[in-house]
Structure 1
Amino acid sequence: MVFAKEEDAYKWLDKLGISYQSYEHQAITTAHELTLSFPGQQVKNLLLKNKKKSQFYLLVLSIDKQADLGSLAEILGEKRLSFASEKDLEDLLHVPAGTVTPFGLQFDQEDKVQLLVDDELDRSQHIGFHPFSNSTTVMLAYDDFDNLMENFKHSIKLVSC
């Protein structure tokens, strides 16, 4: 598997005229490793799957929040949710473990992944994501994130998690 590169993220941002600020830092593979603070809200991204592996969900939520997968499964009409495998990450988003990012949705041409965003995130603040590198964070306006996802043909579904 050839993983996506930072250029794959910046290409879309530049193509759409989205302004962003890029921050380099030590590699971060889990939210607990974040010791830096960027302007705007810090988030984590989780790739989840249903029991039958027929539906995947990319969940974006505050870095400080613990997702209640049982409650989320109920909201989504699923029996159970669990974390996707490393192979699923590679196949669907073209990323290795520790670098899950909504930028990977550009590769989900078969619409296997539904984008979920915690409804407690402040849509008036900037939001940051790894651009396929866990040693860089790109901060952009929430409205620009929404526009980017629309261009990836993935609408944002707000959920309480």
Structure 2
Amino acid sequence: MTLYTGRPDSDGRLPAEMAVYDLLEKLDIPYVRADHEVAPTIEACREVDALLGIDMCKNLFLCNRQKTEFYLLLMPGDKPFRTKELSAQIGSARLSFAGEDFMEEFMGLTPGSVTVLGLMNDKDCRVRLLIDKEIAESGYIGCHPCINTSSLKLKTKDVLEKFLPYIEHEYTLVELGGE
């Protein structure tokens, strides 16, 4: 694997991935990129983590029981997820993983490629962004550019202060214990 600081050639790349690079350039958000084999899970990202010098963010796409409220949770990859703990903080009982049809419809993503950057496709703001305090306070966020064969290292500040305001998405800070 090699590190890159710019966009790849569009040959063989999905339009959704190239749209990410277009937006990052438009917003003047620098990034470091690593291309790799399919990495659909946090465990598969360990080698990428080492190369980028960060821990990839765990991205969970969740919904309430009625499938009327949808959430994207960004949390540290090594922290266990406890639905009860999160439910209490956001006032939504019975959280579960949302179906891939909603993931595709709202964010244009496929399973294993879930990323905060997919919110650029959520024009109706159907997905509520939840960020664990530990992620919000970290210097960098590691995420996929809407495809799980590349990973990006972005400054957290750029995501929170440039990217999210531009796409008109707010976020809710949560504090997950992980014990």
- Within a 5 Å distance, the mapping from 1:64-143 to structure 2 comes to 64-121=78-135, 123-143=137-157
Q: What secondary structure sits across from 1:23 in the alignment?
A: strand
Is contact 1:4-1:132 (8 Å) kept?
no
Which ranges of structure 2 fall in alignment gaps of 5 or more residues? 1-13
* TM-fit CA distance, 1:4: 5.6
Alpha-carbon distance in structure 2 between the residues aligned to 1:58 and 1:6: 19
Aligned to 2:61: 47
Identical aligned pairs, as a percentage? 33
Q: What secondary structure sits across from 2:46 in the alignment?
A: coil
* TM-fit CA distance, 1:35: 3.0
Q: Deviations over 1:16-57 (max 9, x none)?
A: 011111111221111122231222332111110011111111
Is contact 1:4-1:95 (8 Å) kept?
no
Larger Rg: 2
Alpha-carbon distance in structure 2 between the residues aligned to 1:52 and 1:4: 32
CA RMSD of aligned residues (A): 1.5
* CA spacing shift, 1:124–1:45, aligned 2, 3 Å: closer
Aligned to 1:22: 33
- Within a 5 Å distance, the mapping from 1:146-161 to structure 2 comes to 146=160, 147-161=162-176
Runs in 1 of length 4+ with deviation above 4 angstroms?
none
* TM-fit CA distance, 1:89: 0.8
Aligned to 2:4: none
**Greater fraction of residues in helix:** 2
The code of the aligned residue for 2:164 comes to M
The code of the aligned residue for 2:18 comes to E
- Figure out how many residues of one structure are paired with residues of the other and give that number: 159
* TM-fit CA distance, 1:116: 0.6
* TM-fit CA distance, 1:104: 1.1
Alpha-carbon distance in structure 2 between the residues aligned to 1:59 and 1:150: 18
TM-score w.r.t. the length of structure 1 is 0.92
Alpha-carbon distance in structure 2 between the residues aligned to 1:10 and 1:96: 18
